[in-house]
């Protein structure tokens, strides 16, 4: 059973619209992340959260907003979508322990038309 659940698996959106990518993890981890993977920028770090607090933000655009309603949830809201936002978005998590690896979800493939 997948321990990091991302929904939906595939998503097609119209330019200018808003979408929310869902992520829940059942590994008991306290740190969660978003990464983006596209042909132009393979596996780009976006955000890290620990205990529902933002730890690091490498995304220049405020159109990307993480939302954490529970410790094991980290959704990603994207507003004013552009075709360049088309990518696979991976949610990940890790224990709040130095040196442990990051565990990845299966990703949401977003296509903006």
Partner 1 sequence: GEQVEQRPPHLSVREGDSAVITCTYTDPNSYYFFWYKQEPGASLQLLMKVFSSTEINEGQGFTVLLNKKDKRLSLNLTAAHPGDSAAYFCAVSANTNAYKVIFGKGTHLHVLP
Residues that bind partner 1 (CB under 8 A): 31, 33, 35, 42-43, 45, 48, 50, 55-56, 90, 94, 97-107
CB of 32 to partner 1, least distance (A): 10
Distance in angstroms (rounded) separating the CA atoms of residues 11 and 23:
14
Nearer to partner 1, 37 or 79 (CB): 37
Nearer to partner 1, 14 or 98 (CB): 98
CB of 29 to partner 1, least distance (A): 11
Nearer to partner 1, 33 or 75 (CB): 33
Whole-angstrom CA distances from 96 to 25, 31, 57, 93, 101 are 14, 6, 17, 9, 10
In 3-state terms, what secondary structure has residue 38? coil
């Amino acid at each position: 059973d997948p321990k990091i659940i991302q929904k939906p698996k595939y998503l097609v959106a119209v330019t200018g619209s808003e979408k929310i990518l869902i992520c829940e993890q059942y590994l008991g981890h306290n740190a969660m992340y978003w990464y983006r993977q596209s042909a132009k920028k393979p596996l780009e770090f976006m955000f890290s959260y620990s205990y529902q607090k933002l730890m690091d933000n490498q995304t220049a655009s405020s159109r990307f907003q993480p939302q954490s309603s529970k410790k094991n949830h980290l959704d990603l809201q994207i507003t004013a979508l552009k075709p360049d936002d088309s990518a696979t978005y991976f949610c990940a998590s890790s224990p709040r322990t130095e040196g442990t690896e990051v565990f990845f979800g299966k990703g949401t493939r977003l296509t903006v038309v």
